[in-house]
Structure 1
Amino acid sequence: MIIEYKEFCDLLLSHIEEGQNFYISLLENIIANPKRYIGFFRLSNPKTKLIQNITQSREIKFGDFLENLVEKYIQKIGYKILNKNINSNINNEKLKIDLFFEDNNFLYLIEMKVRDDHDSAKKRGQFLNFINKLTAVKQKYLNKKIKAVMWFVDDLLTKNKKYYNQEISSVKIKNCQIFLCYGKEFLNMVNNGKLIWNELILLLKKYNEENIKNDVNIPDFGNSKQILNALLKIKNSAWKKLNSDNQIYKMLREEFFKNGNNLEEAKKMRNK
């Protein structure tokens, strides 16, 4: 194997493990947006909403993990990894390329997303961002031949395929080839790509089988040490809001801290 299962798992856990900073951010987000969790006109309870938010956060982190994993593969099979950070000459905007590498013949610029499921507004912004990165790379590497790829890793969703193909066909940049790829199509463009794709699917399948029973963990806000530590470290402005007389925050406290004494313990410790 190019990447062993342990290395795969270690990299994945480094991205998705819920460390202390996660609980601080989670708590501050709840305090900043209490109406997302509290109110009579909701079918879902606050715990369900929390699970949705945590799941969404993990999906984003999973996308970051896939970028890092594929970059490791690309490097291991002999391509040279290039600096992802680049400035646009149009408005001096700082841009970051998802995957950027080269061989003796081409630069490879990859805009990498897990799945093609954006709505109309986001798809336009995403494609414009891709072209801005390509333009910036071309301005920096004037004489290089470039293969630019919009790559959606999950080939089960192709919602905007027609739109992206139409937009790509209208872009003409000297010495640049632009591709739209789903699933293994991108990896077919690189050395040992078929091997990488098959191994990637094997690793993901094994991980999912081993972790199929692992549910999203929601700590008890009134009793857990993670939440107590987060209460001690959230910003003063968030702490004041949480303990204010505002009716929405009274409801928030009643919903999230009705069990245990974390809130009272945090008050004592923050006042020391």
Structure 2
Amino acid sequence: MTEARGSAGLNGEAHARYMPGTPCWVSLMVHGLAATQEFYRGLFGWEFEPGPQQLGPYVRALLDGREVAGIGQLPPDRHLPIAWTPYLASDDVDLTAETVRLCGGTVGVGPLDAAEAGRLAIGSDPSGAVFGIWQAAAHGGTRITGVPGTPAWNELLTFETASVTKFYKTVFGYEEEPVVSADFDYVTLQVDGRPVAGVHGVGHTLPRDRGPHWLTYFEVADTDEALDLLVDLGGHVLQGAHDSAHGRVATAADPEGALFSLIQSPR
């Protein structure tokens, strides 16, 4: 991953508008909405308010009154993987969704309007990794970044970077910056010369039951303390805290199994 905070201002405020291709929102669909709110309220200090109801019960998570993420409730008969989904900004979600199809991806939801908030679609790349597309109207996306409890980075874990990076470059117009290494397959996706997301090829170390997927990193003040709290709240540690070039990181799952990473920026 990288230290880049794609949309953060110096004071933690997000810019008013996200450039096309920039991750602008993360959303989670679960079976137990109330229990999931309690978990993330305890872990990140989020508060909640109702959001658009087109896809069923849905709430927006807030920090200091500013929107950070969304959590919705799956219908009882829908047994989809429970996963955090990043939404990538678009000026024309219908055109972007059509480009996804033309480039070998699929569109499973939408495009459709989310009341006055904006217009969305949910698709998957040719390897099967799911992502959202967001065309902002009243709701611009995550309103605060760079502080504990906010999304810090989004990274695609996939088999290899070359073919899937070509897909995302064609659909969203990214520039790419590969990591030159004989044993590390990694590409940073850039918008207007600025890193906004990563693609990590991990070969056959991908879990067979999960396949290629996007992983969201959330900022925390102290990774080790956050993991202790997460376990107390009913979450699970999948990869313990360890130091990296970009901070102290760990990977965990919430009580319903949604994966995410925690990162404590270098002091």
Identify, as 1 or 2, the structure richer in helix.
Answer: 1
Larger Rg: 1
- The TM-score with structure 1 as length reference comes to 0.24
- The TM-score with structure 2 as length reference comes to 0.24
Identify, as 1 or 2, the structure richer in strand.
Answer: 2
